[in-house]
């Protein structure tokens, strides 16, 4: 009489369980990496949106005070909010606008434990008179800030050049981000 051979017990072997666990761990690590990159891109998009609002704000301030537009020019080497410090003078409309814009750039509207957290990372603002000595400009308004990853130096305004090389991989302004707009002042005195 033939005895039936012993068949393996039903279920999973240890090797199958280990392979499944390895695949599961690799998938979870991939999701964590994807989540971190998404947060980085979300912060970059938030910063760009903030910079565009700040840019439009100063564009409107200059346009509302056209007779004194030349007073707004800072040049690219003396930006507003350098080192997070805002001007203190507020006797003229231009000084009030510069103080308000600086306060917005450094994020003083929202604080956490006495630290400004409401706006750009190391934000700066520059206003350049592209017309040289012409008080009617045109004016190039630029907002610069610290990006989270290296993309390469931005083209256009030198606002904040050299100020954002502190993060690893950020040499040569690779992490400097800028947005700019041109403000034109009509010359109403000339027919």
79-119 tens-digit pLDDT? 999 888 888 888 999 999 999 999 999 887 676 777 766 67
Q: Provide the Cα torsion 15, 17, 20, 22; round to 10°.
A: -70
Please tell me whether residue 151 adopts helix, strand or coil conformation: coil
pLDDT for the residue numbered 6: 62
Give the chain's length. Answer: 191
Q: Tell me phi and psi for residue 85, to 5 degrees.
A: -105, 130
Furthest-apart CA atoms within the chain: distance in Å: 121
Please tell me whether residue 53 adopts helix, strand or coil conformation: helix
E strands in the chain: 75-80, 111-112, 115-116, 124-129, 139-146, 176-183
- pLDDT tens per residue, range 11-63: 668 888 889 999 999 999 999 988 888 888 888 888 999 999 999 999 999 99
Kindly indicate the confidence band of residue 154, based on its pLDDT and cuts at 50, 70 and 90: confident
- Joined together, the tokens standing for residue 136 give 């009617």
Q: Provide the Cα torsion 159, 165, 171, 173; round to 10°.
A: -20
- Joined together, the tokens standing for residue 76 give 């690219």
**Residue 4, pLDDT above cutoff 90:** no
What share of the chain in percent tops pLDDT 90? 39
Question: Which residues lie across from 23 on neighbouring strands?
Answer: none
- Joined together, the tokens standing for residue 153 give 């130096």
Sign of CA dihedral 56, 62, 66, 72: negative
Is residue 139 within 8 Å of residue 156, measured between CB atoms? no
pLDDT for the residue numbered 77: 87
d(CA 57, CA 73): 15
């Amino acid at each position: 009489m033939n005895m039936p051979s012993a068949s393996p017990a039903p279920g999973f072997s240890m090797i199958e369980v280990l392979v499944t666990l390895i695949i599961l761990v690799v998938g979870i690590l991939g999701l964590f990496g994807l989540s971190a990159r998404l947060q980085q891109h979300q912060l970059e998009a938030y910063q760009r949106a903030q910079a565009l609002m700040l840019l439009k704000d100063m564009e409107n301030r200059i346009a509302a005070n056209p007779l004194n537009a030349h007073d707004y020019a800072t040049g690219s080497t003396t930006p507003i909010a350098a080192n997070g410090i805002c001007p203190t003078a507020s006797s003229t409309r231009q000084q009030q606008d510069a103080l308000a814009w600086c306060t917005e750039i450094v994020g003083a509207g929202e604080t956490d434990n006495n630290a400004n957290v409401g706006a750009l990372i190391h934000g700066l603002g520059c206003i350049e008179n592209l017309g040289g000595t012409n008080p009617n400009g045109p004016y190039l308004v630029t907002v610069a800030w610290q990006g989270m990853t290296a993309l390469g130096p931005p083209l256009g305004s030198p606002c904040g050049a050299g100020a954002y090389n502190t993060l690893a991989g950020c040499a040569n302004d690779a992490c400097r981000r800028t947005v700019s707009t041109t403000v034109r002042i009509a010359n109403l005195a000339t027919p």
